[in-house]
Each structure stands twice: as structure tokens, then as C-alpha cells.
């Protein structure tokens, strides 16, 4: 049975190929990037079809050529069923042509040799700077109450 670390490394090796990424997830697997909420990008993708679409969106629309190199992956916590790692990518945004050196932190939970949950964090200010022509100035103005993750978010 495939352990959590192997699943993560296999996933990063095929990212952003949606079909290959989705195949590593359980049928009801979940990909979450909670902080994308502040950029107006959906944060939770459940099931292989939704996960495939998200990875294809990242690699096809946001960052053509997006991917990870094994030398840019640092595993920090490793058990049979869970792994926590940091991984860096250098990607150019399609919309602006800007290059970003993007650090992700991810916790992967494995079950039955598949990914049950992958929750990733990233610097959304840097993402806004690279994706939007005017950087963070293109984001909606703040309101009196700000949620860094979707309202009602549960860990």
C-alpha cells in the first residue's frame, strides 16, 4: 500500500496534469487551499472530477508550465498515513508574465493507498501580485469584517 510521503512525491511529480493528479486521490478525496478565499478562487475541491479541473486550471490558465522539482521538496513530518512538507515552484503567470517563486506548505492524509485530504497553504499576497495586472490593488476593497478563509471553515 502506498504511504503518504510517496503519494505526495508522486503528486508533485505529475502536477499540474489534472487527470494524473486526480487519479492519486480517493474517489471522495479532497484538495483544499483555504487561503485562496482571499483571492476569490474556490478553496475546496472534492472528488476526482473537481480535483482534475482545479489542477488543469492552475496549469492551463494561471501558470502554464507549473510544476515541482524533487530538489525543491522538503519533507518535515513523515508518518505512514500523514506527511507535512514544503515545496517550491518557479512559475510564470499567464496573465501578467511575472515570475513567482512560490512556496507551498502541505499536509497530506493517506487512506487505502490514496490521498484522502491534501490541505495546502501559500502566500496569497504574492499570488495576487503575480496574477493581477495591478497586484493587490486589483483585489476588492476590504470590508469591516475579513475572513482569511471561507466563513464556517473547519479544520
Block means of pLDDT (10 residues each) for the chain, 155 residues, are: 96 98 98 94 97 96 94 97 97 97 98 98 96 92 88 83
pLDDT of residue 104: 98
Note the pLDDT of residue 111: 97
pLDDT at 143: 85
What is the 8-class DSSP label of residue 62? I
For residue 50, what pLDDT is reported? 98
What's the Cα-to-Cα distance from 147 to each of 39, 88, 104, rounded to whole Å?
11, 26, 20
pLDDT at 155: 80
Starting at the edge strand that comes first in sequence, how are the strands of the sheet with 114-122 ordered? 44-46, 25-32, 114-122, 99-111, 82-92, 73-78
The pLDDT value recorded for residue 8 is 98
Total-model pTM: 0.94
What architecture (CATH level 2) is domain 4-136?
Roll (3.10)
Joined grid coordinates for residue 6: 510517496
Amino acid at each position: 500500500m502506498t504511504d503518504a510521503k510517496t503519494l505526495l512525491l508522486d503528486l508533485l511529480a505529475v502536477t499540474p496534469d489534472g487527470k494524473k493528479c486526480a487519479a492519486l486521490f480517493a474517489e471522495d478525496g479532497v484538495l483544499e487551499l483555504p487561503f485562496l478565499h482571499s483571492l476569490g478562487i474556490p478553496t475546496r475541491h472534492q472528488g476526482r472530477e473537481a480535483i482534475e479541473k482545479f489542477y488543469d486550471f492552475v496549469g492551463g490558465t494561471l501558470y502554464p508550465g507549473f510544476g515541482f522539482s524533487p530538489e525543491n521538496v522538503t519533507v518535515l513530518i513523515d508518518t505512514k498515513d500523514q506527511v507535512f512538507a514544503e515545496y517550491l515552484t518557479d512559475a510564470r503567470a499567464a496573465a501578467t508574465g511575472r515570475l513567482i517563486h512560490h512556496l507551498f506548505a502541505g499536509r497530506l492524509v493517506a487512506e487505502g493507498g490514496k490521498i484522502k485530504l491534501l490541505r495546502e497553504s501559500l502566500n496569497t499576497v504574492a499570488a495576487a501580485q503575480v496574477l493581477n495586472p495591478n497586484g493587490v490593488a486589483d483585489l476588492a476593497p476590504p470590508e469591516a469584517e475579513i475572513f482569511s478563509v471561507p466563513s464556517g471553515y473547519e479544520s
